[in-house]
Amino acid sequence: MHRRAGQVFLAVLVLLVSAVPALAEPSPVRSLDQTHATYPRAIRLQHSGPFNGRVIATVTTYTNGAGIGSIYESRDDGKSFRKIGSIKDPLAARGLCCTHLYELPRRVGKLAKGTLLWAGSVGQDGGNMSLRVWQSRDRGRTWSQLTSCYDSPNGQGLWEPELFVDAKGRLVCQFADETEKPRFDQLVAQRVSVDGVTWGQKTHVVTSGNRWHRPGMPNVRRLHNGVYYMTYEICAQFGKYFCAVYYRTSTDGVSWGDPFNFGTLVESTHGRYFTHTPTIALTQQGRLLLIGQILQNPDGSVAPGNGRTLFVNDNNGIGRWTEGVAPVSVPGARDNYCPNYSPTLVPSLDGKQVLEISTDYVGDQSCRAFYATGPLPA
């Protein structure tokens, strides 16, 4: 090729290549902290004025066997985290599980808009369990005990608290409840508070006519159309839907229909579905994201994308979901308390990417929390 012609060809090629949008690449997977950690949760501040956009995360760590709610902050959209606080509930010396993080979108009683709430199940290693709620008014740096949204009356278990504000501005606490054995081995229950401190009567949200079924792990988001969307698992079913993920909706955040109705199975466009530990997130553009511990094929076998897949829905959670690539790969995900157990998602502000924090074993068999950001399907 003539030199001049070659230069022109290269210039045109550069222009063509530069006109093609670059594909977003997942960020490197990093460890949140060099310590044993379980059950991650993360949120992006949206009601804290000049601090909006920061990501706050929590995992359960341990000191001398006592569970601690360790709090982390990212000011660079999930590229890095630093520890900023910790919650040392006195009852957590008898066990801590299943913690939750929530930012109040409006004032509730004396609790100001933007107050951070942390909740966890404590006491499973002896005595009656309690769902303890702590508050922070400085974006996670210092914490004080606020309330308990439910205390076990009979020594049976309480798990997986989920906090949100209903359509009337009341604080709702949903949780997995084992205290009504033998009628129900486990169910999803809720209590409502007008001031964030005192709580009304417990009511049933998801139950089953089979006493051995175990509905649990509720997650709730209020969609842009005002509808409340809840996902949950139902464990101890026979066959391929053991711990499968379902959803139901509510117009006010407290009325969820017949508790004995299983709801609707969440499935992808390929008929695949998650089992165990579902969590959801909502982008500012209105897309719903879902992830779970184990991905299964329509026939119940473990799918090839197990531990590497998330779901996306553009129809307010109705119908089939699109499959995408999870930023943190945990190919050994299985029914175990560590690998990909209850991962958490935080969408980017433009809705094109998502931060994930999940857990997996490292070489010494310690469970660690890892985070990374990756693109969402278009």
Residue 29 within any structural domain of the chain: no
Residue 23 within any structural domain of the chain: no
Residue 158 within any structural domain of the chain: yes
Residue 208 within any structural domain of the chain: yes
Residue 68 within any structural domain of the chain: no
Residue 8 within any structural domain of the chain: no
CATH number at residue 179: 2.120.10.10
What does pLDDT average to over the chain? 93
- Region of residue 107 (left: phi > 0; alpha: psi -120 to 50; beta: else): beta
Please report the pLDDT score of residue 13 as a whole number: 32
Residue 112 within any structural domain of the chain: yes
* 305 has a pLDDT exceeding 50: yes
Residues of the domain holding 299:
80-336
49-80 residue pLDDT tens: 999 999 999 999 999 889 999 999 999 999 99
Contact 76, 10 (CB under 8 A): no
Residue 285 within any structural domain of the chain: yes
State the Cα–Cα distance between residues 359 and 39, nearest whole angstrom.
Answer: 8
From first CA to last CA, the distance across the chain in angstroms is 41
93-149 residue pLDDT tens: 999 999 999 999 999 999 999 999 999 999 999 889 999 999 999 999 999 999 999
SS3 letters across 141-175: CCCEEEEEEEECCCCCCEEEEEEEECCCCCEEEEE
Number of domains in the chain: 1
